[in-house]
Structure 1
Amino acid sequence: MNTINHQDCLSGMNTMKAESVDLIITSPPYNIGKSYEKRTSLDAYLAWQREIIKACSRVLKTGGSIAYQVGNYVDNGKVYPLDCMLFAFFLENKLIPRNRIVWHFEHGLHCTKRLSGRHETVLWFTKSEDYTFNIDPIRVPQKYPGKKHYKGDKKGELSGHPMGKNPGDVWQISNVKNNHPEKTDHPCQFPLDIVRPLIKALSNPDDLVLDPFMGSGTVAVAAAQLNRNYMGFELCHEYIEIANRRMGKEVFGFSEQLTMF
């Protein structure tokens, strides 16, 4: 535990014990030709992802969750939403769909022949009907915090939860671009503000969080900050070095302010 392994995630997960992980959070490559991936045919990519999801299901505990953050595969102007294309693979492994979280951001590529993409998604599945879900740590402020019931048995009492409301399934969070304070040399990292609420809600302190595609170490950083254990796999040694530097700086400093949760 608490290591990032310089290893292919599929071979790495196949050596792990079954049902050994409490939570899986990851953002796999989208097969769009980034520096950390080799572009293949869409069919080959989907077959590979099918094996990854199967391996994730095997190592996930019965009461565990998987949060799979994906965007679009784009091929010569044709856009394929990966959450839709991967959904059936989770169902094949008898994983239970809980939410399709829409991550909305304001900045990105400006398209000329279609509408500019301004969202990606997080697919949340559980392995059983009995699973960890802590809503209180991720509540957001009520729109009308002083609103009260005006009739009935609860007349005069606050109508909303005093700790805040359920954040819903649309999250507006800045993506990590250019001058973002979390930006590293990784070309496509996802923000701590996506990962932290998932860890808070879907795991407990001392649980083990796995990221099969660790990249710049966002999941490891968030897990350590929130008193969870972590492990992950990453093929690029340069990214492991970036993740380790972030651990030293961000875990022991923990100075960032959450923008939403």
Structure 2
Amino acid sequence: MKLIDITNEFDNNDQIIYSHGDCCEILRKVPDNSIKLIITSPPYNIGKEYETKESIEVYLQTQTEIIEEIIRVLSHDGSICWQVGNYIDDYEVYPLDIFYYEIFKKFGLKLRNRIIWHFGHGLHTQTRFSGRYETILWFTKSDEYTFNLDDVRVPQKYPGKRHYKGKDKGKPSGNPLGKNPSDIWEFLYNEWDSGLWDIPNVKANHIEKTQHPCQFPVELVERCVLALTNEEDWILDPFAGVASTIIAGIKNNRRSFGIEKEREYIDIGIERIKDFLNGELKIRPLGRNVYKPTGKETVAQIPEEWLK
């Protein structure tokens, strides 16, 4: 396996491509119908250090140009997972998934799920409720798409439940491999027990935290990779950041292609990939319970000032 290929050329014989430069320019060198899964979290236009805040109209036009290129490179049986939050302007919320839905439909894609990613820590605000979710829009290019449900099933809540009538009366009614996950992603109570995905966002105490302010958790990518691709398929993240998607792909024997314009994040991502290949990168395991503080810890106790 070639460790890193930082280049503006796409070589189908590589295993890892991590390109530094303009997204559209690099995508134009990628062959048509060559990528099985495109999964990313684009800039939200909220004024992070790596983006310039602009009008919602200009922002969406720029994103449309990129979307047109990624649809071109997406295979006939491929999928796009587009994860977004909200755009805030003058204290008003603009739900970006609604705007993006119209763009993808304009290009003829079909929405298979609108997945809610719930997390426990949101933005601090005193003018509205704290935002604790983002959405993943799963689109396909056709009706003939890869979907490996058995690879992502979650444990049955009532495995002993049986059919009470019909030809299968008395037989177990569930699938022995588990049930279909819901479209609300929240790991809760036991591993995948509830069918909801509570995948922590990457904040200060997350083991994967780097300098990137809006980092993709690896386990968020993994379920999409397992369900929507097969081994040796290409996955692409056109806003790759510090390489979380690339790492999720390598971890599951997929070919991984990332594009990132910020040199600082490329350098961090290279080190993360090297650490992963050497078995030294700390990654939150897929399906691990969300940490809950105990009463013995200071942060879990009521401050004395509040008791007065």
Same fold? TM cut 0.5: yes
| Larger gyration radius, structure 1 or structure 2 | 2
The alpha-carbon deviation at position 252 of structure 1 amounts to 4.1
The CA distance in 2 between the partners of 1:148 and 1:242, in whole Å, is 51
Could you say if the C-alpha distance between residues 104 and 234 of structure 1 is closer, same or farther in structure 2, counting changes exceeding 3 Å? Answer: same
1:225 aligns with 2:251: yes
Distance (whole Å) between structure 2 residues aligned to residue 232 and residue 93 of structure 1:
23
Task: Report the 3-state secondary structure (helix = DSSP H, G, I; strand = E; otherwise coil) of the residue aligned with 2:71.
Answer: helix
Q: Deviations over 1:118-172 (max 9, x none)?
A: 1000000101110100001111111112212233221222111111111110001
Does the CA-based 8 Å contact 1:193-1:260 persist in structure 2? no
* TM-score, scaled relative to structure 1: 0.96
Which residue number in structure 1 is paired with residue 121 of structure 2? Answer: 107
The equivalent of 1:248 in structure 2 is 274
1:259 to 284, 287, 298: 287
What pairs with 1:120-199 in structure 2 (closer than 5 Å)? 120-172=134-186, 173-199=199-225
Q: Give SS of 2:266's match.
A: helix
Tell me the secondary structure at the aligned position of residue 45 of structure 1. Answer: helix
Contact 1:3 1:232 in 2 (8 A): yes
Q: Which amino acid aligns with 1:161?
A: N
| Greater RCO (CA < 8 Å, at least 6 residues apart) | 1
Q: CA deviation at 1:96?
A: 1.0
Is 2:44 the partner of 1:39? no
Letter in 1 for 2:67: I
Q: Give 1:256 shift.
A: 4.0
Equivalents in 2 of 1:193, 1:60: separation in Å? Answer: 23
Q: Please report the TM-score for the alignment, with normalisation by the length of structure 2.
A: 0.82
Which consecutive residues of structure 1, in runs of 5 or more, have no partner in the other structure?
A: none
Is the CA contact 1:140–1:260 (under 8 Å) kept in the aligned structure 2? no
* Deviant stretches of 4+, over 6 Å: none
Is residue 2:214 matched to residue 1:200? no
- The question of whether the paired residues in 1 share the 8 Å contact of 2:36 and 2:229 is answered with yes
Partner residue, 1:98: 112
1:44-77 deviation digits (Å, cap 9, x = unpaired)? 0010111111111011011111100000111121
Unaligned runs of 5+ residues in structure 2 are 1-13, 187-198, 290-308
CA offsets, 1:86-113, max 9 Å, x none? 1111111111111100001111223211
Aligned length: 261
2:219 touches 2:285 (CA, 8 Å); kept in 1? Answer: no
Q: Residues of 2 paired with 1:256 and 1:222: CA distance? A: 11
Q: What is the CA-CA distance between 1:259 and the residue it aligns to?
A: 2.3
Question: Cα offset for 1:250?
Answer: 2.6
